[in-house]
A and B are shown apart, each in its own frame.
Chain A
Amino acid sequence: MPGLFENTVSALCYDIARSQSFDAAPYNDVTAFVLGQWGRMPRFLAWPLRFATIFFACSTLPGGLYHRLPYERRAMVIESWRLSSIGPFRDLIRFYRSLALMGLYSREGAVR
C-alpha cells in the first residue's frame, strides 16, 4: 500500500504532466519510473531525498497534505518551491521535474 512518500511522488508526477498540457492520464508509468529511479539512487542521497519529499508533503499543513490539495493549489506550491531562494527546495522540485519530464516525453505520442 502506498505511503505518504509514494502518494506525494505520484501527485507531483500528475501535476507536472498537467503543467505540460498533457492529456493522457493515467501517468502511473511515469510515477513508477520516478519511484524506480529513486530506488536506484545512491542511498546516501535517496534517504535525505525521501525525508525532503515528506517535508514537502507536510509543508502545506494545516491546509492538508500536499497530495490531498486541489490541483490549482498544488501547482502554486510547486511553483513557489521551484523559484525559492532556498537551494534545496529548488533542487527537490528540479529532481522530480527532470525525471517526470523524461518519463512523460518518452511516452508514445508525447510529441507530434
Chain B
Amino acid sequence: MSNQSTDILIIGSGPGGSTTAHLLAERGREVLMVEDGLNLPLDSCKPFSVDEMVQKYRAGGLNPALGTGKVAFVEGRVVGGGSEINSGLYHRTPPELLERWKKDFLFDPGDLTPHFEYNERGLEVQLSPVETPLASRKLMHGATALGWRAMEVPRWFSYHNGEGKRNSMSRTYVPRALAAGARLQANTRVSRLRREGSAWVALTSTGEIRANHVFVSCGAIQTPLLLRRSGITKCVGDSLALHPTVKVVALFPEEVNNETLGVPVHQVKEFSPRISFGCSIASPPHLALALSDHANFGPLVQQNWRHMAIYYAMITGPNTGTIRAVGGSLADPVIRYEPGAEDWRDLATGMRHLSRLLLAGGATRLYPCVAGLNPIDDESQLSTIPGMLPPARANAMTIHLFSSCPTGEAQQRCAADSWGCVHGAPNLHIADASLIPTSMGVNPQGTVMALAHRNALNFLGDLS
C-alpha cells in the first residue's frame, strides 16, 4: 500500500473524466487520473464481442436494474470508460431540454456552442464519408415512404482508406492528458472519500490519495455509489433516469448484414423526444439472443443472418430509479428502476411504430423481441402487439444512464450546483452523465463532454 498526493484527482477516465483531465493538465495543473478498469487499447478485442464483454464491461455486462420488469444495462470499466464500448453516435443537447432544465432545476448552462465545437473538433465528429450500411439505410427508406423525420447521426470517428475508427477517449483525450503531464493509474478502485482539513483523501485498492480537488467521473451508477459510501447522500442516487429500449429483428429479401456491419448511423425522430428509433448491432450472437424467444431461431439465424438486422425503439422514460450501496464491504450497487404503466404503453407504441417503419422499409418479416409475441408479416398484424408490453417478458434494456446526481441551483432536487460542485462539499466536483438533470431522448455523450468542458474552464477561471 502506498500513499500519494496530487493537486487534482480525477476518479474515472470516461468522457467526463478525460475531458476534464486533459484540459486541466494542458493548463499546467497537476492531475492524477485513476480508473477502476484496465488500460487497454481500443483494438484489444473485436467491438461488441464476447471478448469485449469480458475485458471492458463492468460485471461482464450483467447488470439488471431491479423492478417488476427488469431493465438490463451495461457500463464500461476500462480506461476511456463508456466511449470504448458505445456506438460513437453524437448529438448536441436538444434546446428544449435546456429550457426545461432552466425552469425545473434552476440550471442555466448558458451558450454551450463553444463547448460542443471544442469537442467536435477534438474527436473529429462528422457524418460518414463512406456509404452507410444498408441495414441502417433501411430506416431511411421506411421513413421516406411514411413521410417521417429521420437523420444520419454524426459520430466521433476518423476515417482512413474508407474504414472508420472510433475516436474513443483512449485514442484522444487520455493521450493528450498524459502528454501534458497527467498521470494515469489504471486498475485502481476508489472505495470511499473522506475530508481532511481542506483536502480530500481517496481510499483506493492500492493506498490513499490526498488531493486538493477531486472530480468524480465514474458514470451515472458508480459516481452516486462512491458519494453515498462517503456519506454524501443529499439528492445523490435518488433520481436515476434512463432510456428503456425494446427491439425488433427484421428479415429482408436482400442481404443487409455482413461481418463488418458495425454500428448503423440512422435514427428516426418523428416521435422524438418521446420515442426514437434506430438500428442496433446485429452480429450473429446478438441476433441469436434477440430471437431466442421465437421457435426454431437457431436455423433462422444460421441460414438467414445476412438478411437480418436488429432495430430498436427507445423511449424517454419519465420515471426515475435509485442507486444504493449494499453493505460496507460489498462493492456492488443495488439499482432499482420501475418503468411505469405509461412507459410500457410507450414501449408498445414504439414497437408498433417501429414495425410499421420496417415494413415500409422493405422488411418481409418482423420478430418482436418480446416473449410470447408472434412474427409479423404485414401491417394487419400490428394489432397483435398489445397496448402495453408485459413487463416480465419485454426484455427491456438500456445503454443510456444519467441524472443520478442532477446539477442545478434547485437544492431540494440537485446534488451539485450549476458548475458540477457537490452541494455542501467544497472542492468536490462531478463530471459525468450523472449531472444531466433529466432523461434526454438522445445519446448523452455530447452533453456529458460539453458540460465537462464548460465546468473545467470555469474551475480554471477561463470561462469567458
Which residues in A have some Cβ–Cβ distance to B below 8 Å? 19-22, 33, 36-37, 40-45, 87, 97-98, 101-106, 110-112
Q: Decide if the interface of chain B is mainly helix, strand, loop or mixed.
A: helix
User: A42 touches which one: B283, B303, B332 (CB < 8 A)?
Assistant: B332
Known: A44-B334, A98-B289. A105 touches B59 (CB 8 A): no
Known: A36-B54, A101-B289. A41 touches B59 (CB 8 A): yes
A105/B284 in contact, CB under 8 A: yes
CB of B303, distance to nearest CB on chain A (Å): 7
Encoded as 1 (CB less than 8 Å from any A CB) or 0, chain B from 84 to 125 comes to: 000000000000000000000000000000000000000000
CA distance A22 to B458 in the complex (A): 59
CB of A81, distance to nearest CB on chain B (Å): 14
Known: A42-B63, A101-B292, A102-B50. A87 touches B392 (CB 8 A): yes
CA distance A6 to B49 in the complex (A): 24
- Interface core residue of A41, A87, A103 (most chain B CB under 10 Å): A41
Encoded as 1 (CB less than 8 Å from any A CB) or 0, chain B from 331 to 344 comes to: 11110000000000
User: Chain B: how many interface residues by the 8 Å CB criterion?
Assistant: 29
Q: Which 5 residue pairs of A and B lie closest in terms of their CB atoms, listed nearest first?
A: A40-B60, A42-B332, A20-B298, A105-B285, A37-B60
CA distance A43 to B325 in the complex (A): 12
CA distance A20 to B294 in the complex (A): 12
B285/A102 in contact, CB under 8 A: yes
B59/A42 in contact, CB under 8 A: yes
Encoded as 1 (CB less than 8 Å from any A CB) or 0, chain B from 40 to 68 comes to: 00000000011001100001101110000
B62/A45 in contact, CB under 8 A: yes
CA distance A40 to B299 in the complex (A): 31
User: A111 touches which one: B62, B63, B301, B392 (CB < 8 A)?
Assistant: B301
Q: List 24 A-B contacts (CB under 8 A).
A: A20-B298, A37-B53, A37-B54, A37-B62, A40-B54, A40-B60, A40-B62, A42-B59, A42-B62, A43-B331, A44-B334, A45-B62, A45-B332, A97-B292, A98-B289, A103-B50, A104-B285, A105-B284, A105-B288, A106-B284, A106-B285, A111-B284, A111-B305, A112-B302
A112/B303 in contact, CB under 8 A: yes
Residues of B within 8 A of A103 (CB): 50, 285
- Nearest-neighbor residue (CB-CB) of B393 within chain A: A90
Q: For the complex, is B1 an interface residue (Cβ under 8 Å from A)? A: no
User: B62 touches which one: A20, A41, A110 (CB < 8 A)?
Assistant: A41
Residues of A within 8 A of B333 (CB): 42
CA distance A84 to B392 in the complex (A): 13
Known: A19-B298, A43-B330. A101 touches B285 (CB 8 A): yes
- Nearest-neighbor residue (CB-CB) of A101 within chain B: B288
Chain B residues 275-323 with CB under 8 Å of chain A are 283-285, 287-289, 292, 298-299, 301-303, 305
- Nearest-neighbor residue (CB-CB) of B287 within chain A: A105
- Nearest-neighbor residue (CB-CB) of A99 within chain B: B62
Q: For the complex, is B425 an interface residue (Cβ under 8 Å from A)? A: no
Q: For the complex, is B460 an interface residue (Cβ under 8 Å from A)? A: no
Known: A36-B54, A42-B59, A45-B62. A106 touches B49 (CB 8 A): yes
Residues of A within 8 A of B151 (CB): none
CB of A88, distance to nearest CB on chain B (Å): 11
A104/B59 in contact, CB under 8 A: no
CA distance A20 to B60 in the complex (A): 24
CA distance A106 to B287 in the complex (A): 11
CB of A93, distance to nearest CB on chain B (Å): 10
CA distance A106 to B298 in the complex (A): 13
Residues of A within 8 A of B331 (CB): 43
- Interface core residue of A20, A36, A87 (most chain B CB under 10 Å): A20
Residues of A within 8 A of B145 (CB): none
Q: For the complex, is B179 an interface residue (Cβ under 8 Å from A)? A: no
Residues of B within 8 A of A21 (CB): 298-299, 302
- Nearest-neighbor residue (CB-CB) of B371 within chain A: A90
Residues of A within 8 A of B54 (CB): 33, 36-37, 40
- Nearest-neighbor residue (CB-CB) of B329 within chain A: A43
CA distance A22 to B287 in the complex (A): 16
CA distance A19 to B297 in the complex (A): 10
B49/A43 in contact, CB under 8 A: no
A44/B285 in contact, CB under 8 A: no
Residues of B within 8 A of A112 (CB): 302-303
Q: For the complex, is B326 an interface residue (Cβ under 8 Å from A)? A: yes
CB of B261, distance to nearest CB on chain A (Å): 13
Residues of A within 8 A of B53 (CB): 37, 102
A102/B289 in contact, CB under 8 A: yes
CA distance A29 to B62 in the complex (A): 19
B284/A110 in contact, CB under 8 A: yes
- Nearest-neighbor residue (CB-CB) of B285 within chain A: A105
Residues of B within 8 A of A105 (CB): 283-285, 287-288, 301
- Interface core residue of A21, A44, A104 (most chain B CB under 10 Å): A44
Residues of A within 8 A of B49 (CB): 106
CA distance A102 to B57 in the complex (A): 15
Known: A111-B284, A111-B302, A112-B303. A33 touches B50 (CB 8 A): yes
B59/A40 in contact, CB under 8 A: yes
CA distance A37 to B52 in the complex (A): 12
Residues of A within 8 A of B289 (CB): 98, 101-102
- Interface core residue of B64, B288, B331 (most chain A CB under 10 Å): B288
